[in-house]
Structure 1
Amino acid sequence: MRLSTVILPIHRWSEGQKIWRRAEDLGFHAAYTYDHLSWRSFRDAPWFGAVPTLTAAAAATERIRLGTLVTSPNFRHPVTLAKELVSVDDVSGGRLTVGIGAGGTGFDATAMGQEAWSPRERADRFGEFLPLLDKLLRQDATTETGTYYSAVEARNIPGCVQTPRVPFYVAATGPRGLKLAAEYGQGWVTYGDPRGPADVPVEQAPSVVKSQIEKLTAACEATGRDVATLEKVLLQGSTAEKPLASLDAFVDWAGTYRELGVTELVIHWPVPDSIFANDLAVFERIATEGLAQLG
């Protein structure tokens, strides 16, 4: 099992770079950031772009993997996104992972003036978005016409440092998204029950993830793929569980999900006076000692 972190893009780089370097020093497998234009309680607070942040983080670090968690079609187009991902993969020396999903109804879902998409339309768009992005990152030139997204002689030379392209970690819980994860993903991402912490008792949270992994397994079997070839990534912070309250709490939580088949845990870097407020000293101890105590 691996342990990674999410660093929100809320810091001016004079301070933010210190956090990304510290994440590397603590031994995290990867450091991700949200790809949003704004987000929930941070809507009226500082919030910087994901791609520039990852580019700067790539230049400030040497070993840690970097990525989005997650990118979506809400304000992205496959052609321009592919160019940016190739660039970050190059700057990082092949350390980029692309967390990607269909998107939701957050504050930035209509920031470009579009009407809010229904769940079905989000799924339809993502079903076109991901295959086209896959082609753009694998080919020097791509031409394709779709209902929502098209590319005309779109060039991506020299391509990704990682071959055949940067890995996709596909966030999905529904049947269409899970099928895409099975077909295109090197990993699969969940944050647990999409209903939110108020609707799911703590004791029921693991059973939700267990059910999701069973559905992922079925989706893989339907496409002739071994589910063991996908990383199973759990993003902490959207359930009523409190794994960052203490080292013991983390070890219990991590052990539960390891038994269910989760291979990577992602915990939020503490942000004071927010829903991600946690003791930094406890967090750093979890980073350095937590997985070792699983045995």
Structure 2
Amino acid sequence: MDIGVLLPTGTAQWAKDDDPRDLITLARTAEHLGFTSLFVNDSLISPRVEALTMLAALAPATNTVTLGTGALLPFLRRPVQAAQSLASIDLLSGGRLTLAVGAGYPGRFGRPFYDLSEVPWARRFARLDETVALWRALWNGADSFHGEFHRFTDLPPALRPYRPAGPPVWLAGATPTALTRTGRLYDGWLPYPPDPADYTTGLHDIREAATAAGRPPEAVTPALFVTVRIDEDPDHAHRATDDYARAAYGMPLAELEKIQAVVTGTAEQVTERLNRYVTAGARHLVTRLAALNLPAQREQLERTAALIPDLHP
């Protein structure tokens, strides 16, 4: 099992007197406590430290943890320049970068970003897949690329990542077409289904798609993005997570729980509920801590770390 944590890079998760530079301290603490990965989000929905900037800062400040995106939105960046930035982070971290990517989705969490980026909303999934294919081609020394959205005939030599094939790329999505694309094209899967049974079904479909594409089913890392809050009082945990949902998403917890995996309660309750996803097949948990200032994030980090020995297949 790999257990990771999403760093609170958004200002909605900070108190007024929090110092954003303490994110580096929090990351080092997570590594010391036994977390095996540090993830950052990528969004324009609220002010936040830009994802690749945060990972570049973490590369020399950490030693062994995987550095990941959960999830990167490639359409926010020019694709060739993004490939260069990602290769740079992989080099500076000694090959510790993992990329979960997504195309956004309808509503205020997706389509307005396309307008700001001057990228068409139509065929966004095909654009995402082709952008990842372009990155991989650049990382492998291609001097040209001819796709539907990106066409280059004289590409200059690109910076090569630490690993010859480049960092692994996961897909964040759980629609039927996303599952098929994950099995055919991606190295991992990072969804957040509220029901562990849906995780089991999705993973089965991914593995079938991988086999049909001539890939071994184990080529796809089964990960999970899950919001966690641990308290001695389950009611307090629920109220604190509701506050978090309203601050981060502008919606009550009751609505967020319908679309995302959320686990709250005592340490014993959270362990039991997380292990339901492990039983469903998840092998890399990316936990987002439901706390609204950096000291509270530190407390939840320590509480979650204490569960690590009890999370196993």
TM-score tier after normalising by the smaller chain length: 0.7 to 0.9
Contact 2:274 2:311 in 1 (8 A): no
From 131, 134, 138, the equivalent of 1:132 is: 134
1:25 aligns with 2:32: yes
Contact 1:142 1:153 in 2 (8 A): yes
1:110 aligns with 2:100: no
Change (3 A) 1:213 1:239: farther
Query: What residue identity is the alignment partner of 1:56?
Result: A
Residue 211 of structure 2 corresponds to which residue in structure 1? Answer: 221
Residue 90 of structure 2 corresponds to which residue in structure 1? Answer: 89
User: 1:6 offset after TM fit, Å?
Assistant: 0.8
Q: Which protein is richer in helix relative to its size?
A: 2
Q: Give me the whole-angstrom Cα distance separating, in 2, the residues matched to 1:54 and 1:93.
A: 13
Change (3 A) 1:258 1:77: same
User: 1:98 offset after TM fit, Å?
Assistant: 1.0
Contact 1:73 1:103 in 2 (8 A): no
Residue 75 of structure 2 corresponds to which residue in structure 1? Answer: 74
Query: Please, which runs of 5 or more residues in structure 1 have no aligned partner?
Result: 194-204
Change (3 A) 1:163 1:281: same
Query: Please, which runs of 5 or more residues in structure 2 have no aligned partner?
Result: 12-18, 228-255
Change (3 A) 1:155 1:104: farther
Residue 233 of structure 1 corresponds to which residue in structure 2? Answer: 223
User: 1:289 offset after TM fit, Å?
Assistant: 3.0
Normalised TM-score (structure 2): 0.77
Deviation by residue 1:221-276 (Cα, 9 ceiling, x = unmatched): 21122222321011013636542432112211222111111111111134317xx9
TM alignment of 1:185-224, pairs within 5 A? 185-192=186-193, 205-224=195-214
User: 1:52 offset after TM fit, Å?
Assistant: 0.9
Query: What residue identity is the alignment partner of 2:299?
Result: A
Q: Give me the whole-angstrom Cα distance separating, in 2, the residues matched to 1:282 and 1:248.
A: 14
Relative CO higher for 1 or 2, CA cutoff 8 Å, sep ≥ 6?
2
Q: Percent identity?
A: 23
Secondary structure of 1:142 counterpart: coil
Residue 10 of structure 2 corresponds to which residue in structure 1? Answer: 10
TM alignment of 1:27-176, pairs within 5 A? 27-36=34-43, 38-39=44-45, 43=46, 46-105=47-106, 106=109, 107-114=112-119, 117-118=121-122, 121-139=123-141, 141-176=142-177
Q: How many residues align?
A: 272
Contact 2:275 2:311 in 1 (8 A): no
1:267 aligns with 2:296: no
Query: What residue identity is the alignment partner of 2:87?
Result: V
